[in-house]
């Protein structure tokens, strides 16, 4: 008769044990959730503090860039922060409201010099708040003078700016680049061929074939653009410290350019004598990313009748007083070119990579009605963003002062 009593007592104890276990489990889960919640609050607080410190570090680094932009405006060639000693250069940032020190920045400065003249500089500014010196932010800025390389084809330049650029480039070329004087009266200029090894060959043009050519600016003209004969060539190395070439005569041009090079065909000694550049073949680069070319003609930049059927022109081409283009040539009629050249009247494809600057009309394809009769049937113009960021030395631009040309964060 006692068995049922014992059974019910055991069941009661078991239920109470389950309840106790349940309470313990709920308490443990609550403690875990509470701990996670407290930790999340701490993480959010720390993240907020970290974000605030990073923002302060960024502001300090920006202050460093702004400071050196001002410094360049006052001292355009100084890469040593006025100290005459190597960097880095550290400065303190003050709160303008309280005049108390709140942050610091450190500057590392390097420059690119051509012909003894600073052409661009890179400033690395590292900033940090005084409250948390371990939290730093690094900004990198390139300072330079914006050039025509940043423009897309077709582009224009101020005449005074270009005239000043030509004069400066001649001075630099004569001092430490390559300067070639005008050819003799019996010659027509020079044939220049760039080589992928960093040299170029120069040969005097001793004979030409005269052909009729038409342009929208000059109508039909007898032009001496076809090379019939050349003299012995001379090989020149492109000076690494001053890669500028100034030729005081007409230039026939082609080849593979090594490095960043600027070439000018101009006669500044004789008023009214305005040399042109005639492109006889492809102009390309020895390296896909590190090379660049600027060609400036005092008059026109013309594509020869003898140009390749598929032609590529890489670089910046500037026609100062004339125009860029390929003239109209006829295979028959009153203005027909010699029989040996008639197969070159119509060409297939022209691709330019860079920027073309022309005072006059740019034309490379000629049609009569809807019929293609001369020049290049298809043309593609591509802008070279790499050249825009780092153009050849003394590529003409629109401003004289240094300014930001690139800005980025660096981890």
* Predicted confidence (pLDDT) per residue in 237-293, tens digit: 999 999 999 999 999 999 999 999 999 999 999 988 999 999 999 999 999 889 999
Per-residue pLDDT reduced to its tens digit, 120-150: 899 999 999 998 878 899 999 988 888 999 9
Contact status, residue 202 vs residue 194, Cβ threshold 8 Å: no
Mean of per-residue pLDDT scores for the chain:
88
pLDDT at residue 199 greater than cutoff 60: yes
Q: Model's pTM, two decimal places?
A: 0.81
**Region label for 394, one of left (φ > 0), alpha (ψ between -120 and 50) or beta (otherwise):** left
Instruction: Return the higher-pLDDT residue of 336 and 5.
Output: 336
pLDDT at residue 37 greater than cutoff 70: no
Q: What's the pLDDT score for residue 1?
A: 39
Q: What's the pLDDT score for residue 41?
A: 47
Of the segments 75-84, 91-100, 292-301, which one has the largest average pLDDT value?
292-301
């Amino acid at each position: 008769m006692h068995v049922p009593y014992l059974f019910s007592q055991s069941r009661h104890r078991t239920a109470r044990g389950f309840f106790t276990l349940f309470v313990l489990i709920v308490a443990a889960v609550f403690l875990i959730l509470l701990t996670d919640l407290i930790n999340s609050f701490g993480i959010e607080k720390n993240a907020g503090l970290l974000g605030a410190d990073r923002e302060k570090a960024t502001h300090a680094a920006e202050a460093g860039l702004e400071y050196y932009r001002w410094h360049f405006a006052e001292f355009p060639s100084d890469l040593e922060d006025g100290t005459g000693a190597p960097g880095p250069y550290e400065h303190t940032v003050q709160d303008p409201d309280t005049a108390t020190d709140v942050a610091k920045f450190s500057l590392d400065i390097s420059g690119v010099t051509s012909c003894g003249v600073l052409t661009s500089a890179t400033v690395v500014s590292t900033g940090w708040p005084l409250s948390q010196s371990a939290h730093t932010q690094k900004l990198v800025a390139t300072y330079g003078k914006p050039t025509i390389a940043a423009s897309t084809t077709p582009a224009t330049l101020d005449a005074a700016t270009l005239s000043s650029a030509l004069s400066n480039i001649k001075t630099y070329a004569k001092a430490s680049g390559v300067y070639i004087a005008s050819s003799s009266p019996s010659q027509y200029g020079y044939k220049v061929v760039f080589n992928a090894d960093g040299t170029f060959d120069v040969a005097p043009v001793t004979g030409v074939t005269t052909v009729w050519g038409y342009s929208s600016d000059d109508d039909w003209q007898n032009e001496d653009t076809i090379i019939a004969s050349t003299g012995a060539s001379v090989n020149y190395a492109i000076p690494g410290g001053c890669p500028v070439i100034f030729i005081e005569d007409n230039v026939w041009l082609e080849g593979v350019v090594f490095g960043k090079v600027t070439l000018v065909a101009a006669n500044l000694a004789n008023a009214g004598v305005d040399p042109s550049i005639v492109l006889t073949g492809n102009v390309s680069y020895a390296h896909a990313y590190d090379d660049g070319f600027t060609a400036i003609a005092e008059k026109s930049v013309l594509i020869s009748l003898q140009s390749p059927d598929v032609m590529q022109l890489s670089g910046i081409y500037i026609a100062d007083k004339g125009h860029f283009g390929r003239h109209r040539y006829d295979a028959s009629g009153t203005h027909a070119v010699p029989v040996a050249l008639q197969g070159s009247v119509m060409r297939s494809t022209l691709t330019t990579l860079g920027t073309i600057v022309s005072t006059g009309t740019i034309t490379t394809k000629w049609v009569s009605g809807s019929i293609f009769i001369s020049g290049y049937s298809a043309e593609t113009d591509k802008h070279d963003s790499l050249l825009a960021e780092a153009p050849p030395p003394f590529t003409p631009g629109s401003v004289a002062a240094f300014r930001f040309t690139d800005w980025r964060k660096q981890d």
